[in-house]
Amino acid sequence: MRKLLVANRGEIAVRIIRAARDLGIPTVAVHSKADGDALHTRLADTAVEIGPSPASKSYLVADAILTAAKETGADAVHPGYGFLSERASFASAVADAGLTFVGPAGSVIEKMGDKVAAREVARAAGVPTVPGTPGGVEGVDAAVEAARGTGYPVMLKAAAGGGGRGIRVVHDEESLRGAFGQASTEAQKAFGDGTMYLERFVERARHVEVQVLGDGSDAVHLFERECSLQRRRQKVVEEAVSPGISEETRQAMTTAAVNLCREVGYTSAGTVEFLVDDRSGEFFFIEMNTRIQVEHPTTELVTGIDLVAEQLRIAAGEPLRFTQDDIERRGHAIEYRVCAEDPTKDFMPQPGAVGRITVPSGPWVRCDTWLEPDGTVPPYYDSLLAKVIVWGADRDEALARSRRALDEFTVAGIPTTAGLLRELAAEPWVGAADFHTGTLEQWLAERKETS
């Protein structure tokens, strides 16, 4: 790899440029008009403006990025997360241009990005998926029969529905018999198709994901992260490893993730997402993310492995440098996503000019950010300002250090979520890891009512 083009912006572009520089690889930044003076633009050895400020006219324009690669002599492209990172056609276009895509092949991105195809891969690898009927069920008796297999409670879903519409949860056979006909009739009216299918409903679900690295012939895991603290399906706080699963579950889940990667001959860093039933400890495959993730630093802090550097080495054709036994974990790491949003105004995004900023640091605190003093938060991109990542010898130490680090975080000029995250890090239920994917929103709703 002679020169790496980073097809992204913000903190992840900065992160990737730093990893490349650590390895002695020259970098090319691409940037929109608004990012002409951005940190990633200035840190790279070369910078190319690829279009106007909106991402749809710059960071999402594959041709502009490929042209920039050609003009600057870059021979590899790192897509980061978001933008074009999981667009199979972009990975293929990079390869067709004779360049190296830092990530899996377009065909693997396509397969793992398709929910149905990914579930089939999971089944072939012996990885559990959410129990349910593969297609529609014929009438109420067939539904009752199917529910005996999946177990209650079950979710009754309209085959033609989507976006949460046409879904009903029933807790026993009697309510299933009562609900089926009506749900099917409603689906017929709403979607023109009354076909219903069944899926196990997990009431207290935890989101746990396994970090993997593959070189195409072998794969290893780097343990798991838990990302159950979410708001509107967006992760807010993530930690490594999960405080909510047993050692037995950890063993089974990480083995399943590695098996899945072997099944597809996975190359690069990836994440295998699971839903964990907090009551039974059962886990089910949901999907695979074929890119580096926002929360990857937590894994780095507990394993001591630079995931982006490993992505670059694998893309350059090197085999995995670790066997599974080489990979150990130590202590606990937690990441907080500090966003330019106003928690007192229903998390309204607040771009604008900033003044003085204080970014936390000190022992076992890492802050990945693109933000600089006297800079501007542009309105065009996502609201992530910084990731505050802390390490502790154990989870309690990591939480105590979180409170210290988040207290230090200040940005003059715009509201941020740092104060709210600081409050969250002191909550007893967070300390006890007594949460599931709905807990944070419940807490926010209760907090709003009492204030």
Partner 1 sequence: MPRHEVVSPIPGVFYRRPDPDSPPFAENGSTVTDDQTVGLVEVMKSFHQIPAGASGTVVEFLVGDEDEVDAGQPVAVVETG
Residue 398 is encoded by which pair of tokens? 């990591």
291 is catalytic: yes
98-to-45, 84, 85, 95, 438 alpha-carbon distances in Å: 22, 18, 18, 5, 45
CB of 287 to partner 1, least distance (A): 21
Cα(213)–Cα(310) distance, integer angstroms: 8
Nearer to partner 1, 11 or 341 (CB): 341
CB of 344 to partner 1, least distance (A): 15
Cα(115)–Cα(273) distance, integer angstroms: 12
Nearest CA among 326, 331, 338, 329 for reference residue 363: 331
Name the residues that contact partner 1, by CB under 8 A: 53-54, 340-341, 348-349, 351-352, 379-383
CB of 349 to partner 1, least distance (A): 4
Nearer to partner 1, 208 or 236 (CB): 236
Cα(268)–Cα(319) distance, integer angstroms: 10
CB of 106 to partner 1, least distance (A): 25
Strands 76-78 and 4-6: parallel
CB of 268 to partner 1, least distance (A): 26
Nearer to partner 1, 30 or 340 (CB): 340
Nearer to partner 1, 72 or 383 (CB): 383
CB of 50 to partner 1, least distance (A): 18
Nearer to partner 1, 53 or 67 (CB): 53
* From 15, 200, 250, 291, the catalytic residue: 291
CB of 340 to partner 1, least distance (A): 7
CB of 12 to partner 1, least distance (A): 15
Nearer to partner 1, 289 or 383 (CB): 383
Nearer to partner 1, 11 or 224 (CB): 11
Nearer to partner 1, 382 or 423 (CB): 382
Which H, E and C letters describe the chain, residue by residue? CCCEEECCCHHHHHHHHHHHHHCCCCEEEEEECCCCCCHHHHHCCEEEEEECCCHHHCCCCHHHHHHHHHHHCCCEEECCCCCCCCCHHHHHHHHHCCCEECCCCHHHHHHHHCHHHHHHHHHHCCCCECCECCCCECHHHHHHHHHHHHCCCEEEEECCCCCCCCEEEECCHHHHHHHHHHHHHHHHHHHCCCCEEEEECCCCEEEEEEEEEEECCCEEEEEEEEEEEEECCEEEEEEECCCCCCHHHHHHHHHHHHHHHHHHCCEEEEEEEEEEECCCCCEEEEEEECCCCCCHHHHHHHHCCCHHHHHHHHHCCCCCCCCHHHCCCCCEEEEEEEECEEHHHCCEECCEECCCEECCCCCCEEEEECCCCCCEECCCCCCEEEEEEEEECCHHHHHHHHHHHHHHCEECCCCCCHHHHHHHCCCHHHHCCCCCCCHHHHHHHHHHHHC
Residue 162 neighbours by CB under 8 Å, 6+ apart: none
Residue numbers annotated as active site? 291
